[in-house]
Amino acid sequence: MLPRVADSLSFLYLDMVRLVQDDTGVCAQIQVDKDRTDLVYIPTAAVSCLLLGPGVSITTPALTTLARHGTSVVCTGAGGVRAYAGILPDSLTTHWIEQQVNAWSDPERRLDVAVRMYGMRFGDDEVADGTTLAQLRGMEGQRMKALYKIFAQQHGIGRFRRNYHPDQWHQQDPVNLALSAANTCLYGIVHAALLALGCSPALGFVHGGTQHAFVYDIADLYKAETTLPLAFSLHQSSNPEQEARRKFREELRLLRLLPRVVGDVQLLLTPDADPDSYADDRSERRDVEMVHLWDPKAGVLPAGVNYAQGGG
């Protein structure tokens, strides 16, 4: 049995190490000085997402073990600021990516998913029937401005403005630094959940034009209650990026975000389905099912059958 997503660690961030596979497992080699190298073993079967920062090298056997255990690997920039690429585990079925593609490729269904995404941020009682997508974008902008103002007042900060300029990274204030670092950790966790389901991170319903469009879609559902209050709480920190990652990891156990992400994605892609029909998928990675054949009339036909006349 593969490990349950709900029981997995949220993520592990590494930089300036070499990841190798030895006789015991995957370990991080840390060069302390020229005569000493420390080893830290990685619990690959219990980590959902491994964030690899600058200075990390990894061997093929170590990467193979991570993939076999269903651990997503996300390559990030300095301090975990950006998520550049992810590796997909192969112990997946195609059910949820088929649901995603069907909804994404149909303009009416794509619009419905996008509208319901905004509805999940506001609450069902705050969005009137018939509200257009353009109106929802405007409402979301006003909501974020109001949240910035509320958190700034709570922490005695003057007027706050969200800035993200990678070319001027170290010139930004602690709140912006902490928010960018925490958001990247959130993206890694959402990425891990999407890969655990077998969804495509690239096929977004609100965002588009990037390999992480769906990651950004889903992550936006949780920022107001996770990364935003965390970032403002670090407005006086001397090392906001490191503290943001550490505190986010500590609080994530209480939030139980991974199984929540899985359930929300399934609900968005199949709103009319009985939640009990995929209850197991909310908390477990499923074993690979038997491959089937597609048919335009029957839909699904069993594989491993000779369909020639008189074939056996």
pTM of the model: 0.71
Query: What distance, in Å, lies between the first and last C-alpha atoms of the chain?
Result: 34
pLDDT confidence band for 286 (50 / 70 / 90): very low
The phi, psi pair for 233, rounded to 5°, reads -70, -15
User: Which residues fall within 8 angstroms of residue 76, CB to CB, at 6 or more apart?
Assistant: 13, 51, 52, 53, 82, 83, 84, 184, 188
What residues does 284 pair with on adjacent strands? 4
At 132, the pLDDT band (50, 70, 90 cuts) reads confident
Q: Which fold has domain 5-87?
A: Ribosomal Protein L15; Chain: K; domain 2 (3.100.10)
Query: Does residue 278 register a pLDDT over 90?
Result: no
Mean pLDDT of the chain: 81
Q: Which residues contact 173 (CB under 8 A, 6 or more apart)?
A: 163, 235
Run of H or E including 41 = strand 36-41
pLDDT surpasses 80 at 70: no
Whether CATH 3.30.300.130 fits 105-269: no
Token look-up 């156990």 returns 253
Dump pLDDT digits (tens) for 27-63.
999 988 888 999 999 998 888 778 888 999 999 999 9
Closest among 276, 305, 148 to 223, alpha carbons compared: 148
Judge whether 5-87 and 105-269 match in fold: no
CA dist list (Å): 155 to 32, 130, 160, 245: 39, 37, 11, 20
Banded pLDDT at 104 (limits 50, 70, 90): very high
Residue bearing the bigger pLDDT, 232 or 129: 232
In whole angstroms, what is the distance from residue 9 CA to residue 281 CA? 18
What are the sequence ranges of the domains in the chain?
5-87, 105-269
User: The sheet that has 83-87: what strands, in order across it?
Assistant: 12-14, 49-52, 72-76, 83-87
pLDDT at 280: 45
